[in-house]
Amino acid sequence: MAKSGPVSSELTKRYALALIDLAQENKTLSKVEKDLESLQTVLSESDDFLFFVKSASIDSASRLAVLDDVAKKGKFQTETTNFLKVVSKNGRLSVLPEILTGIQKQLASMRGEMVATVESAYS
């Protein structure tokens, strides 16, 4: 069973680097990045999918079937589909949103992008 509490940045970084390295090696990084953006959109817009991801009560076979269906409907790259399956098999699907954020941060860092928060007195 996964530990509760904050997700380790080391954990998210390991998953991020593994997927990024594989996608770079297969020259599919831009397509994988689009897959992950789509997945993040689904997570932010679908309470049902977010519940599915976070729920510990769904058995492994059902999780894999749903992930496979989502990947097929989204026309995800093989690397993305396999990544989701590995995350699920490793019992980390509940932290998928945090892993996706970690991947985004790693990709931004690789491109030399910096994230800034701008505050304004005007609303």
What per-residue confidence (pLDDT) applies to 1? 40
pLDDT beyond 80 at 5: no
62-116 tens-digit pLDDT: 999 999 999 999 999 999 999 999 999 999 999 999 999 889 888 888 888 776 7
Tokens coding 117: 């928060």
Ordered domains of the chain (ranges, CATH): 9-110 (1.10.520.20)
Q: Looking at this protein, which amino acid is placed at residue 53?
A: V
Q: Looking at this protein, which amino acid is placed at residue 4?
A: S
6-25 tens-digit pLDDT: 667 788 889 999 999 999 99
